[in-house]
Amino acid sequence: MVNVLILQCGGPTPVVNASLAAAIAACQTHRAVGQIWGARLGLQGLVQGDWVELTGLPATALERLSRQPGAALGSGRYRLREEELPAAFAHLAKRRIGVLLLLGGNGTMAAAHRLERHGVASGYKVDGQPLRVVGIPKTVDNDLAGTEVAPGYGSAARFIAQTVRDISLDLYAMRNFDDVAVLEVMGRHAGWLAAAAALARSHPDDAPHLILVPERPLDEEAFLTAVAAVHRRHGICLVVAAEGLRDSAGQFLAEKFQKAEVDASGQRMLGLAAGVAPYLAHLVRSRLGLLCRQQRPDTIQRSCRALAHETDRQLAVLVGRAGVEAALAGVSGHMVGLRHTPGGWETAPVPFAQVVGQERLLPASFLAADTYDLAPPFYDYTNTIGLSVEREYVAF
């Protein structure tokens, strides 16, 4: 019998609880598993021993959990210090944990890697077995190496695409009043979420008209010229901008009004800064004289239950279950990666060393050469995750 501890770390997604529910269910049905535990608030609960037992969680709760936004165990951005590792392992030993599952993104996989190495180095054993540490991918940003898609991305991407379709109908209806709108979406370094806006179109002239990704520094003059041209042609211009957009000099646009604060890990908190949308709106208003609305959904894009994507949820279930199966089969030091095959999506363990320290940006081939737009390979990619958006509309 082996006891299992599960953690949720980093920003929630609409489907990270689906992975959690699937992992719990897989543990419950596996005869090798004894107790199932969850740590509250991710790594913080691991270090502090603040755990909740999940062994007997009823099927009704699992079903509800699987469709619930947020991260039900509590997640967060706790920074694991080296000197806290012994305390964490003392808690693991006390409850005789043999399998540690971490649901998370880049930062989480780095922590998982450290935990795995500490377990090996310290000779941690339960019933003669070493600790098996397995990562389960989760991030709306889709910037995680080692997996072709990260569960969470599909739902946030669908939210963004459907939102662009919806608000563009509103903007077009108000074209004798409003001129431009800037929708600010998440994405510090990677433009996957901004790119998803392209799926809103049913005709080439449809919104979004300009998609601004962090992979492409923004020349502000060229941008203003493009906005003016789109507005002249369509009477409106809908811009989608990633929060991590930088100007040609490498400065975050979000910080051009006011410097962002840094969090405990030294990362700039762009979502809490003045923001890229207010900056671009000011630019459009002051330089072009056009009215410019802003939409800043912030955490709505990563928690909207109504637009959670079913394929995304199924992938979240798949990796949750595969993480348990891999660990119980003896795998450790790996993350469950997703690979698209002609037969559908499959999982395969990927060593932490191939995941940690990487950041999967939009490939250059996914971006159109001269326009603020995507290229055909991006649509081939999104076809693999079957993103569905209600695009059709009646126009007069």
Contact footprint for its own copies (CB under 8 A): 8, 11-12, 17, 38, 40-41, 44, 52, 54, 61, 64-65, 68-78, 162-163, 165-167, 169-177, 181, 263, 269, 271-272, 274, 278, 281, 285, 291-300, 302-307, 390, 392-396
What is the closest distance, in whole angstroms, from the C-beta atom of residue 381 to its own copies in the complex?
A: 24
Catalytic residue at 141?
yes
Instruction: Say how far apart CA 339 and CA 350 lie, in whole Å.
Output: 11
Instruction: Say how far apart CA 353 and CA 366 lie, in whole Å.
Output: 26
**Is 139 annotated as a binding-site member?**
yes
**Is 50 annotated as a binding-site member?**
no
What is the closest distance, in whole angstroms, from the C-beta atom of residue 94 to its own copies in the complex?
A: 19
Among residues 50, 141, 219, 373, the one annotated as catalytic is 141
**Is 188 annotated as a binding-site member?**
yes
Task: Kindly state the tokens that stand for 198.
Answer: 């392209």
- Of 40 and 360, which has the nearer Cβ to its own copies? 40
3-state SS assignment for residue 240 = strand
**Is 142 annotated as a binding-site member?**
no
Instruction: Say how far apart CA 116 and CA 131 lie, in whole Å.
Output: 7
3-state SS assignment for residue 170 = helix
What is the closest distance, in whole angstroms, from the C-beta atom of residue 253 to its own copies in the complex?
A: 16
- Of 122 and 202, which has the nearer Cβ to its own copies? 202
3-state SS assignment for residue 369 = coil
- Of 32 and 173, which has the nearer Cβ to its own copies? 173
| The residue type at 132 | R
Instruction: Say how far apart CA 17 and CA 63 lie, in whole Å.
Output: 10
Task: Report yes or no: 140 and 301 within 8 Å, Cβ to Cβ.
Answer: yes
**Is 11 annotated as a binding-site member?**
yes
- Of 273 and 374, which has the nearer Cβ to its own copies? 273
What is the closest distance, in whole angstroms, from the C-beta atom of residue 82 to its own copies in the complex?
A: 19
Instruction: Say how far apart CA 187 and CA 184 lie, in whole Å.
Output: 9
- Of 60 and 341, which has the nearer Cβ to its own copies? 60
What is the closest distance, in whole angstroms, from the C-beta atom of residue 376 to its own copies in the complex?
A: 27
Residue 205 CB neighbours (<10 A): 10
Q: Which residues contact 201 (CB under 8 A, 6 or more apart)?
A: 207, 208, 391
3-state SS assignment for residue 166 = helix
**Is 176 annotated as a binding-site member?**
no
| Catalytic residue numbers, as ranges | 141
